[in-house]
């Protein structure tokens, strides 16, 4: 529960409430350090400091006005989060973090490590679409959903790999689905080029994070991928891009 923004006593909730967290739990600190690397590697496309904007969109159900955008930009940017071994603090008290784009993947990875430690390698772990595929003769077949066709885009076969999807077709705030929960932290707008981004990577946390980053960056975000990582993107017009 250290990652939850809904549990009042979690590490994340205490940091958001007080602006400082002393002696954070090791999993929380490790995840923040992982995010720091991800923020740099994705050139700011992945950034958990967009929570205030997300909450604003949930309430108002409209894009930000110019003045609102300027105010929120002052408090956005993971480089404003100071991380040390025994303390984490937000350099602006108006800041708040959400770990929604990586925490579930990280929890899946912890579960996988528990299974491995107890001798189980032939496992499939599915946490609401964040999926880890362990070893299996012939591999595990996983379908990639096409929200425009309401069916499968294609099927991939995976072993010791994870796959995650980010999309605008479930959590949205306007009828046209152009205002949704995936926010570009650099512009505080909702990208509309894609309807989904699916990534396969060696860990579920990384696949989770990259699916968010590539949804925000679009096809040009393929430069964020490391060797062996793959992305399936579906544009609003229905074009399918495999990176």
Q: What is the pLDDT of residues 156-172, one digit of tens each?
A: 999 999 999 999 999 99
Q: Does residue 109 have a pLDDT over 90?
A: yes
Look at the alpha carbons of 121, 225, 53, 192 in this order and tell me if their dihedral is positive or negative: negative
**pLDDT at res. 1:** 75
- pLDDT tens figures, 17-74: 999 999 999 999 999 999 999 999 999 999 999 999 999 999 999 999 999 999 999 9
Residue 26 is encoded by which pair of tokens?
């090791």
Distances in Å between the Cα of 99 and the Cα atoms of 13, 175, 185 are 11, 26, 14
| Per-domain residue ranges of the chain | 127-242
- Over pLDDT 90: what percentage of the chain? 98
**Neighbouring residues of 63: CB distance < 8 A, sequence distance ≥ 6:** 57, 179, 189, 190
Count CB atoms within 10 A of the CB of residue 177. 18
Q: Is 232 helix (H, G, I), strand (E, B) or coil?
A: strand
Q: Does residue 93 have a pLDDT over 80?
A: yes
- Over pLDDT 70: what percentage of the chain? 100
Residue 184 is encoded by which pair of tokens?
């570009």
pTM for the predicted model, two decimal places: 0.95
Taking residues 203-225, report their average pLDDT. 97
Q: Is 70 helix (H, G, I), strand (E, B) or coil?
A: helix
* CATH classification number, 127-242, choose in 3.10.520.10, 3.40.1190.20, 3.40.50.2000, 3.40.50.720: 3.10.520.10
């Amino acid at each position: 529960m250290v990652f939850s923004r809904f549990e009042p006593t979690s590490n994340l909730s205490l940091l958001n409430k007080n602006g400082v967290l002393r002696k954070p739990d090791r999993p929380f600190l490790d995840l923040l350090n992982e995010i720091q690397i991800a923020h740099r590697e994705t050139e700011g496309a992945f950034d958990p400091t967009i929570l205030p904007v997300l909450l604003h969109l949930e309430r108002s159900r409209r894009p930000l006005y110019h003045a609102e955008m300027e105010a929120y930009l002052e408090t956005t940017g993971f480089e404003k989060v100071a991380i040390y071994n025994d303390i984490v603090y937000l350099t602006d008290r108006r800041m708040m973090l959400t770990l929604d784009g990586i925490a579930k993947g990280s929890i899946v990875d912890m579960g996988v490590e528990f299974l491995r430690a107890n001798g189980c390698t032939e496992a499939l772990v599915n946490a609401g679409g964040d999926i880890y595929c362990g070893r299996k003769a012939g591999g595990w077949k996983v379908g990639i959903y096409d929200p425009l066709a309401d069916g499968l885009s294609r099927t991939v076969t995976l072993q010791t790999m994870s796959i995650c999807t980010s999309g605008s077709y479930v959590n949205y705030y306007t009828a046209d689905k152009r205002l949704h929960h995936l926010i570009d932290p650099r512009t505080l707008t909702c990208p509309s080029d894609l309807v989904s981004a699916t990534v396969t990577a060696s860990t579920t946390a990384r696949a989770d994070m990259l699916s968010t980053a590539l949804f925000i960056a679009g096809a040009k975000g393929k430069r964020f991928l490391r060797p062996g990582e793959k992305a399936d993107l579906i544009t609003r017009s229905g074009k399918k891009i495999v990176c």
